[in-house]
Amino acid sequence: MTLDGPLVVHLDRAAGAPAPWQQVHDQVVAAVDDGRLVPGDRLPTVRALAQQLGVAAGTVARAYRALEASDVVSTASRAGTVVRDRTAARGDAAARAAAASLAREAVAAGLDDDAALSLLRGALAAARGR
């Protein structure tokens, strides 16, 4: 089955094909990666996509949850499910990795939480030119 519009999803129902939720997930990721979907684009509602593809709503919901976990989309009750700016997600990931590194270094140096946080606050102030 196919969904038309900025997002085209084809479900392969042949034996041995990936699960439908995985196919939806992978095709949304591919559409984002090749520019067919851009940050801010809204995906169909879970119910609408499930109905159009002829699958259970839980199948689409599972795909959307996996997309959220991968920082490909975000879901808000009023805004629906929208494509995230992946450059921001990559920046978030880099900041988390740096924070983890700082935490390991602070523990290895024997610093308590207050001392480590004080060092981080000082580094943030310096980075902001204060």
CA dihedral 45, 9, 42, 26 (to 10 degrees): 100
- CB-neighbour burial class of residue 83 (10 A; exposed 0-12, middle 13-18, buried 19+): buried
Domain boundaries, the chain: 20-84, 87-129
Confidence check: pLDDT of 3 > 50: no
pLDDT digits (tens, 9 = 90+) for 67-116: 999 889 999 888 899 999 877 666 666 777 788 888 888 889 998 988 88
Percent of the chain whose pLDDT exceeds 90: 50
| Residue 51: partners with Cβ closer than 8 Å, 6 or more residues away | none
pLDDT digits (tens, 9 = 90+) for 23-69: 999 999 999 988 899 999 999 999 999 999 999 999 999 999 999 99
Does the 20-84 domain belong in CATH 3.40.640.10?
Answer: no
